[in-house]
């Protein structure tokens, strides 16, 4: 049998085409689906027809009933009894109004007249004291009457709610809808108020209470539609056209509508107080849920309503149930808020979501003023609710991808953030035509009293008092406030302010936290007790293993509700007095020394103690700490980094506020361990705020330690002591990882790449110098692979330089080259006489060129740089250089000259000011660095800062006077500075504005130009390996002495000398007898730089060389004790010492000292 026909079957015999089994099954399945579809389509058509038929019949009946109802209402023979109102008035009215208005979601003018007539009759009936005429008497009648009355009353409430939602919606001109709404809400207010019923007797009061409670409970549920209608009405209050009314009556009606809407919104919350004989409490949870979901999420809720209604909305009976519901049903409410946002078709991804408006409205209600905050709310629940809402708000924005990018860019450079197009729209959401922004609603959290009250309540361990509506024996509803809750509160506020207000950022919140007495001390106390258990001192008697033994995964804080320890009053007072009652005018002249060399209570720790500074609980970074600990760390780092910006060295080192130097070392070790281990692992987006603040705080502490050391060097090295990669591996890893990422994005470069750029200080300085040379070596290899360098002498730069115009000629020929300056330079010198100098450049002349051009350009006489008034005489840009021809371009050129020297490993014997180098490293300079630039101005500013009397006596204003070329220029430190006097209130602003001008603004154009030239050859990430003092060492060499053994081992001998020559042995003997200063002078005599290469003389290019100069003396001279008279000379371009063949050490010493003190070299030959 044919295999192809083996699995085929015949449906109609052999004469019909045969098909396979699979095709048959597929065909049967398709036919079955077609039959099912046909059945469903038929059923759907039948259902549609029945629905349409039902609607048509109902509408026809409703129109008929409407006509009959109007006929009855126009009849004068009607007797208004309760039974007639219920059966003949309300029953047909509710039917045709539901069919003709509610289901169509539109009110016609005819319907308005009908409803007005019906509502007036009902109000007249309810106000009647005759039980036969009062329709409410049916609520206490027979069972059937009670059921009918309850059904009709609930229908009336739903109808009135619908009317409220339609108010001013479809009738911008016809004001009858406004009158109707006013009457409808008045009816609901009376219907749900026991005091409005006139037919109550002592026998029926309990039944009336139950009936009213049932209505109020229905009104508070989602079935009534009341809260959604109130929301729609409140949302329309901000529309200007809705307020364009003419008559006073209309304005009164609108006010009555708003008042009635507010009354109905809060009525379910007040039923407990009004119904005193009710057998059971009213469940306000449903009303509170609707209130939170639909009313508290209205944008600008409080700004839409008249101020007279605010006390009612702020009342504790309203806020406490809302807080309970938000805490208990938060997942459900947040889900419904998100669904509500999705239903709003106009909602843009950049607009404030519902949870954001709930947060803002609750803050305005609960903390609008100090009196409201204290008298009408529960602070503990308030804090918990704000934490919950803020966390959800931040989570929602984290889910939006573009918002992630905006937030990361904003936190990466907080202090210099410009206006972000995407992020600014959040903070600029305005209220109507006013200039109020969303962030203005959150301003209460920036008030001092707000934080102080929370801290006071935390001290007294306040408990939750709003349990009237919940079982009082249920302990899970008891809420306590502690320091951790306050930390969560302000930690989220910091992130929200940064997110919604990128221009100002979290500055207002940080100001509050930094300058509230004792708060920062309390934060550190809780952290210290958890991270450093035992609170021991770093002394000789300390058992290091004990200090590290208690670190665990929970970090000492396992619960959000852990009781806070007593606040340190002494520390609080000390901090307050130091920062707000500053005294001591003469303290500005304190001479700072190395504070770590002689600390008052601490001994130095050697390399064997490095583990002591590696904080065990933080060795896994954010992954090893709890959420509570992460929150405390984030808030502490953000607050302390802000305080460090204004904390001067007198307060930091002398007064030691807010922390002692021992505590400062603990803080430094904590941050160092946390940041290093975080960067060594992949940090998620949820840890970004913590890491940003921790890195910023760590950098500020490290830079302060670089200026005046208070930490042992081993502290900064300890986290990476066991896990550092070899230098070459680390350098290559960094280059590979950073090739495809932004250099300023820390979280984008994982592992060792981030460590190198963010915390390079964990590597010893020598290793970082090796890493720097490794980077340059890899760059040279990559240039060679790219074809930029193909062989010796290829693509070299040929220049001709006149000896007397070396700076001008170099600028003219080299400034436009940019990064091509990395190529070799072949220099031809022209003498003073205009003749070319003989000689070939094998690298020595280019070194001489760079040395000579820097010597001329950096000289104060040239006008580009000046020397600081300190004893070191460091180089800083001259403010008058901007008036020189090509002044800014010259700084850019000098940046390339320095970059070329660093690229080729050529040392330049010049040291820049710490302030200037900070700009090259991309760092901001603060007040205390002014002492290294202008000590006199620094002393004057400290005198003003600590001035005890009225500073107006000094007659200062916000200006600074500059002198250039004999002319004086007055520069305003801020707009209108000429007319702004310095007072005790703004003196801190004046001090920091003056320091900012001198340290940053004045030299910024020069440093930017220098930086552009420098980074043409040296990548910014390479520069970030070093601090300011290390950069100067990288440029000019190591210590002010040389290692003789290292120099001897790396010296070459030419011209006939060898290591065993008599003259060479005498030379090393003489050098060993020199003073350190004399040895440095000798090194400068030979190499033009007085300092040794950082990694030793093996890295000196060209190598140190001693060349033999044969000088034969006569026989009689030798017998008479005479020696060679010729002086030694040097060729600095080749690092060569031309040494005559001296016979005596005394002669060699004399000749060498004479030569090196004559400030000459090659011309002595």
**Residues assigned a catalytic role:** 1133
Which residue has 């005294």 as its token pair? 583
CA distances to 246, 330, 942, 1072 from 972, rounded to whole Å, are 52, 53, 20, 57
Q: For residue 913, what are the contacts with CB-CB under 8 A and spacing of at least 6? A: 868, 874, 875, 876, 932, 933
Tokens of 59: 């509408």
**CA dihedral for 68, 73, 74, 77, sign (positive or negative):** positive
Among 1133, 640, 1069, 611, smallest CA distance to 845 is for 1133
Phi, psi of 982 (to 5 degrees): -80, 125
Which residue has 């992954």 as its token pair? 623
Q: In sequence order, what DSSP letters do the residues of 410-429 get, joined into one string?
A: HHHTGGG----HHHHHHHT-
Q: Which helix (H) or strand (E) holds 801?
A: strand 797-802
Which residue has 């450079």 as its token pair? 413
Q: Do β-strands 1104-1109 and 1051-1054 pair in parallel, antiparallel, or remain unpaired?
A: parallel
Encode 83-120 in three state secondary structure.
HHHHHHHHHHHHHHHHHHHHCCCCCCHHHHHHHHHHHH
d(CA 1029, CA 705): 12
Q: At 970, is the secondary structure helix, strand, or coil?
A: strand
Number of alpha carbons in the 13 Å side-chain half-sphere of residue 744: 11
d(CA 1054, CA 981): 71
CA distances to 259, 323, 380, 520, 734 from 385, rounded to whole Å, are 27, 6, 9, 24, 45
For residue 801, the cross-strand partners are 829
Q: Which helix (H) or strand (E) holds 797?
A: strand 797-802
CA distances to 104, 365, 372, 500, 658 from 310, rounded to whole Å, are 36, 8, 10, 26, 41
**Which stretches within 614-660 are classed as H helix?**
627-644, 649
**1022 contacts 1075 by C-beta, under 8 angstroms:** no
CA distances to 863, 961, 963 from 967, rounded to whole Å, are 16, 10, 5
Tokens of 493: 């506020």
Among 547, 557, 732, 579, smallest CA distance to 659 is for 579
Q: Which helix (H) or strand (E) holds 384?
A: helix 379-398
**819 contacts 1016 by C-beta, under 8 angstroms:** yes
């Amino acid at each position: 049998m044919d295999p192809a026909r083996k699995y085929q079957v015949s449906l109609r015999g052999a004469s019909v085409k045969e098909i396979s089994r699979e095709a048959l099954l597929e065909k049967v399945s398709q036919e079955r689906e077609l039959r099912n579809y046909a059945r469903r389509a038929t059923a759907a058509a039948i259902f549609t027809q029945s629905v349409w038929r039902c609607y048509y019949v109902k509408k026809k009946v409703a129109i008929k009933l409407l006509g009959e109802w109007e006929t009855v209402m126009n009849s004068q023979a009607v007797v208004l009894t309760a039974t007639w109102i219920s059966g003949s008035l309300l029953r047909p009215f509710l039917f045709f109004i539901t069919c003709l208005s509610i289901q169509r979601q539109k009110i016609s003018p005819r319907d308005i007249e009908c409803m007005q007539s019906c509502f007036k009759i009902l109000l007249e009936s309810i106000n009647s004291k005759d039980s036969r005429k009062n329709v409410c008497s049916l609520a206490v009648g027979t069972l059937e009457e009670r059921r009918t009355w309850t059904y009709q009353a609930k229908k009336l409430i739903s109808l009135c709610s619908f009317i409220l939602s339609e108010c001013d919606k479809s009738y911008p001109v016809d004001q009858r809808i406004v009158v109707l709404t006013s009457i409808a809400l008045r009816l609901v207010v009376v219907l749900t108020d026991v005091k409005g019923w006139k037919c109550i007797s002592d026998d029926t009061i309990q039944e009336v209470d139950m009936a009213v409670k049932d209505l109020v409970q229905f009104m508070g549920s989602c079935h009534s539609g009341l809260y959604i209608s109130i929301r729609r009405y409140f949302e329309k209050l901000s529309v200007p056209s809705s307020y364009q009314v003419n008559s006073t009556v209309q304005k009164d009606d609108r006010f009555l509508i708003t008042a009635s809407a507010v009354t109905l919104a809060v009525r379910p919350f007040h039923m407990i107080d009004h119904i005193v004989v009710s057998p059971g409490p009213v469940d306000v949870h449903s009303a509170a849920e609707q209130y939170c979901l639909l009313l508290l999420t209205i944008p600008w809720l409080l700004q839409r309503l008249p101020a007279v209604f605010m006390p009612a909305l702020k009342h504790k009976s309203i806020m406490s149930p809302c807080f309970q519901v938000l805490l208990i049903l938060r997942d459900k409410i947040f889900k419904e808020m998100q669904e509500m946002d999705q239903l709003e078709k106009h909602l843009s991804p950049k607009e404030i979501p519902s949870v954001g408006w709930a947060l803002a409205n609750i803050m305005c209600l609960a903390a609008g003023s100090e009196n409201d905050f204290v008298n009408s709310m529960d602070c503990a629940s308030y804090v918990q609710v704000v934490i919950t809402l803020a966390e959800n708000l931040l989570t929602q924005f984290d889910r939006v991808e573009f918002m992630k990018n905006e937030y990361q860019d904003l936190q990466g450079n907080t202090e210099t953030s410009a206006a972000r197009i995407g992020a600014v729209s959040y903070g600029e959401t305005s209220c109507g035509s006013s200039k109020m922004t969303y962030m203005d609603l959150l301003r209460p959290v920036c008030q001092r009293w707000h934080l102080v009250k929370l801290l006071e309540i935390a001290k007294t361990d306040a408990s939750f008092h709003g349990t009237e509506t919940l079982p009082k024996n249920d302990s899970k509803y008891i809420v306590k406030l502690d320091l951790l809750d306050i930390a969560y509160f302000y930690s989220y506020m910091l992130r929200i302010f940064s997110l919604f207000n990128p221009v100002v950022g979290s500055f207002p919140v940080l100001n509050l936290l930094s300058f509230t007495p004792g708060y920062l001390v309390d934060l550190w106390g809780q952290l210290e007790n958890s991270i450093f258990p035992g609170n021991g001192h770093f002394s000789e008697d300390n058992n290091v293993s004990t200090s590290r033994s208690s670190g665990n995964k929970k970090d000492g804080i396992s619960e959000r509700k852990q009781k806070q320890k007593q606040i340190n009053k002494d520390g609080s007072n000390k901090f307050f007095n130091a920062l707000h009652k500053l005294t001591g005018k003469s303290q500005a002249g304190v001479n700072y020394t190395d504070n770590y060399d002689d600390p008052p209570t601490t001994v130095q720790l050697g390399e064997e103690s490095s583990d002591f500074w590696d904080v065990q609980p933080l060795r896994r970074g954010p992954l090893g700490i709890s959420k509570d600990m992460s929150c405390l760390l984030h808030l502490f780092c953000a607050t302390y980094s802000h305080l460090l910006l204004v904390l001067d060295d007198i307060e930091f080192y002398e007064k030691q506020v807010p922390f002692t130097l021992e505590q400062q070392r603990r803080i430094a070790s904590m941050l160092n361990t946390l940041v290093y281990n975080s960067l060594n692992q992949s940090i998620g987006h949820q840890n970004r705020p913590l890491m940003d603040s921790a890195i910023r705080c760590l950098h500020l502490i490290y830079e302060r330690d670089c200026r005046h050391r208070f930490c042992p060097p081993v502290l900064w090295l300890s986290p990476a002591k066991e896990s550092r990669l070899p230098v070459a591996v680390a350098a290559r890893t960094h280059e590979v990882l950073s090739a495809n990422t932004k250099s300023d994005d820390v979280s984008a470069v994982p592992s060792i790449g981030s460590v190198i750029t963010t915390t390079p200080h964990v590597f010893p300085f020598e290793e970082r110098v090796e890493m720097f040379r490794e980077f340059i070596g890899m760059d040279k290899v990559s240039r060679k692979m790219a074809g930029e360098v193909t062989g010796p002498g290829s693509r070299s730069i040929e220049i001709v330089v006149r000896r007397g115009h070396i700076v001008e000629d170099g600028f003219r020929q080299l400034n436009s080259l940019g990064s091509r300056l990395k190529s070799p330079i072949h220099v031809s010198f022209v003498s003073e006489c205009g003749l070319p100098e003989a000689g070939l450049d094998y690298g020595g002349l280019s070194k001489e060129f760079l040395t000579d051009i820097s010597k001329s350009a950096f000289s104060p006489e040239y006008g580009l740089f000046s020397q600081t008034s300190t004893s070191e005489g460091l180089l800083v840009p001259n403010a008058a250089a901007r008036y020189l021809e090509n002044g800014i371009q010259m700084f850019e050129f000098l940046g390339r000259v320095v970059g070329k020297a660093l690229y080729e490993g050529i040392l330049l014997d010049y040291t820049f000011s710490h302030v200037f180098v900070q700009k090259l490293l991309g760092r901001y300079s603060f007040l205390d660095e002014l002492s290294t630039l202008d000590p006199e101005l620094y002393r004057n500013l400290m005198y003003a800062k600590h001035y005890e009397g009225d500073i107006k006596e000094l007659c200062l204003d916000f200006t600074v006077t500059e002198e250039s070329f004999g002319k004086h220029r007055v520069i305003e430190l801020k707009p209108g500075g000429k007319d702004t006097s310095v007072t005790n209130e703004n003196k801190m602003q004046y001090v920091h504005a003056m320091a900012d001008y001198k340290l940053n603004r004045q030299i910024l154009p020069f440093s930017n130009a220098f930086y552009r030239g420098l980074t043409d050859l040296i990548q910014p990430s390479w520069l970030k390996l070093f601090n300011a003092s290390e950069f100067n060492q990288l440029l000019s060499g190591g210590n002010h002495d040389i290692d003789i053994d290292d120099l001897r081992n790396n010296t070459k001998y030419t011209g006939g000398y060898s290591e065993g020559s008599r003259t060479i042995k005498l030379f090393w003997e003489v050098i060993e007898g020199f003073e350190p200063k004399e040895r440095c002078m000798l090194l400068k005599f030979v190499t033009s730089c007085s300092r040794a290469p950082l990694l030793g003389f093996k890295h000196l290019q060209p190598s140190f060389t001693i060349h033999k100069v044969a000088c034969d003396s006569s026989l009689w001279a030798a017998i008479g004790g005479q020696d060679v008279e010729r002086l030694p000379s040097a060729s600095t371009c080749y690092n060569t010492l031309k040494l005559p063949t001296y016979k005596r050490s005394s002669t060699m010493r004399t000749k060498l000292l004479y030569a090196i003190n004559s400030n000459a070299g090659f011309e002595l030959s």
